[in-house]
């Protein structure tokens, strides 16, 4: 039996898994910290892939979820701000030379969208939007039953659309992007500012908060924490209303750590969508839901990427 290797290069964790054909249960799975400060991420990734390699078995291909903008046709990581030396890195070439097997590389958010579409909350949908909301906001689009890549393979950067002119500075340096208003650190920063300005809350002042902490406070009825999620949900809803007008999806799937807050975020999004989408017909059969795959979205997406592209090139 032949096997697939899936690699997920996360900001904090490198993951690798080996899947037998026709099974979503890995025969071997392993992870290690990314340690982005060191120059050794690439050899450690190769070592990690070796650690899950099936002994004496054939491998049909390797799928890779890679950070930052990626040229999927060349398999090149164009820019990875958190990984020194990874700008313009020909990752596909490096891995296929190391392992002598076909390698498929794509942007991690696009890969997670594929995973949710093929194996998760998006199964059966031909048009869907996937947003991952955690430290940053990324995304992927399935349109007419295909991943939307765009002319340079860069489509789906839905975290970097302007939703508040002259708003807070984004990680990319532009102002007012969705990521600067609704990512985990952005939600925390807003709450910290409100606390400094004297807002009433049970959350501690003068410490660095996490979105998870704020979600817990909101669930306990803290009005500032609830307002923080309503605000983030309103910006997400405004951006999604635009994407929905353009793409007319039948599913919108929210993944990433912040989306685990569930209804805290989904309720304000629904409210804004009703107000801002062009016609209620866009919402009639729309499923708005949290992602199903959790931490394994990257690995299962990388599996879907490798299997799908191998099928196409066969
Ligand atoms: Zn941005």
Look at residue 1 in the predicted model and tell me its pLDDT: 67
Ligand 1: distance of its center to the CA of 109 in Å?
Answer: 15
Ligand 1: distance of its center to the CA of 136 in Å?
Answer: 9
Radius of gyration of the chain (CA): 20
Report the Cα–Cα distance between both ends of the chain, in Å, rounded. 18
Look at residue 84 in the predicted model and tell me its pLDDT: 82
For the four alpha carbons of 41, 44, 50 and 52, in that order, the dihedral sign comes to negative
Ligand 1: distance of its center to the CA of 62 in Å?
Answer: 30
Look at residue 202 in the predicted model and tell me its pLDDT: 96
Ligand 1: distance of its center to the CA of 233 in Å?
Answer: 17
Ligand 1: distance of its center to the CA of 310 in Å?
Answer: 33
For strands 70-71 and 76-77, give the pairing: antiparallel
Look at residue 37 in the predicted model and tell me its pLDDT: 65
Ligand 1: distance of its center to the CA of 177 in Å?
Answer: 5
Ligand 1: distance of its center to the CA of 158 in Å?
Answer: 9
Q: Which of 309, 224, 233 is nearest to 274 (CA)?
A: 233
Beta-bridge partners for 9: 14
Beta-bridge partners for 66: 107
Ligand 1: distance of its center to the CA of 61 in Å?
Answer: 33
Ligand 1: distance of its center to the CA of 157 in Å?
Answer: 9
Ligand 1: distance of its center to the CA of 170 in Å?
Answer: 5
Which two structure tokens, joined as six digits, stand for 165? 């002119």
Ligand 1: distance of its center to the CA of 161 in Å?
Answer: 7
Distance between CA atoms of residues 228 and 94, nearest Å: 44
Look at residue 313 in the predicted model and tell me its pLDDT: 65
Distance between CA atoms of residues 80 and 165, nearest Å: 27
Tens digits of residue pLDDT in 206-262: 999 999 999 999 999 999 999 999 999 999 999 999 999 999 999 999 999 999 999
Q: Which of 299, 306, 309, 215 is nearest to 257 (CA)?
A: 215
> What single string gives the DSSP state of each residue in the chain?
-EEEEEEEE-SSEEEEEEEETT-SS-SEEEEEE--TTSS-HHHHHHHHHHHHPPTT-EEEEEEEEESSSEETTTTEE---TTSTT-TTB-HHHHHHHHHSS-EEEEEHHHHHHHHHHHHSTTTT-SSEEEEEESSSEEEEEEETTEE---TTS----GGGSBSSTT-SBPTTS-BSBTHHHHSHHHHHHHHHHHHHTT---SSPSSS---HHHHHHHHHTT-HHHHHHHHHHHHHHHHHHHHHHHHH--SEEEEESGGGGGTHHHHHHHHHHHHHHSS-GGGTTT-EEEE-SSGGGHHHHHHHHHHHHHHHHH-
Low-confidence ranges of the chain (pLDDT < 50): none
Is there a contact between 102 and 75 (Cβ–Cβ < 8 Å)? no
């Amino acid at each position: 039996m032949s096997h697939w290797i899936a690699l997920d290069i996360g900001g904090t964790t490198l993951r690798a898994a080996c899947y037998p054909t026709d099974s979503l249960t890995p025969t071997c799975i392993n992870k290690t910290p990314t340690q982005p400060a060191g120059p050794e991420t690439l050899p450690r990734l190769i070592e990690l892939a070796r650690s899950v390699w099936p002994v004496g078995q054939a491998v049909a291909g390797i799928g890779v979820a890679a950070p930052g903008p990626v040229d999927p046709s060349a398999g090149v990581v164009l820019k990875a701000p958190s990984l020194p030396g990874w700008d313009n890195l020909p990752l596909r070439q490096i891995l296929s030379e190391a392992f002598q097997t076909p390698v498929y590389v794509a942007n991690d958010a696009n890969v997670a969208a594929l995973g949710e579409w093929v194996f998760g909350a998006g199964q059966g949908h031909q048009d869907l939007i996937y947003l991952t909301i955690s430290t940053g906001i990324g995304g992927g689009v399935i349109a007419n039953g295909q991943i939307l890549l765009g002319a340079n393979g860069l489509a789906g950067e839905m975290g970097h659309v302007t939703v508040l002119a002259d708003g807070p500075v984004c990680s990319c340096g532009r102002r007012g992007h969705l990521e600067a208003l609704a990512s985990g650190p952005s939600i925390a920063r807003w709450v910290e500012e409100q606390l400094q300005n004297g807002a009433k809350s049970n959350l501690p002042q003068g410490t660095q908060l996490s979105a998870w902490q704020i979600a817990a406070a909101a669930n306990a009825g803290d009005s500032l924490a609830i307002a923080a999620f309503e605000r983030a949900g309103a910006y997400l809803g405004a951006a999604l209303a635009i994407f929905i007008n353009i793409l007319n999806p039948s599913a919108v799937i929210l993944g990433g750590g912040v989306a685990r807050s569930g209804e805290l975020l989904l309720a304000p999004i629904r409210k804004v969508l009703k107000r801002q989408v062009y016609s209620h017909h866009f919402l009639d059969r729309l499923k708005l839901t949290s992602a199903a795959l959790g931490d394994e979205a990257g690995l299962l997406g990388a599996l879907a990427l490798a299997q799908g592209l191998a099928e196409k090139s066969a």
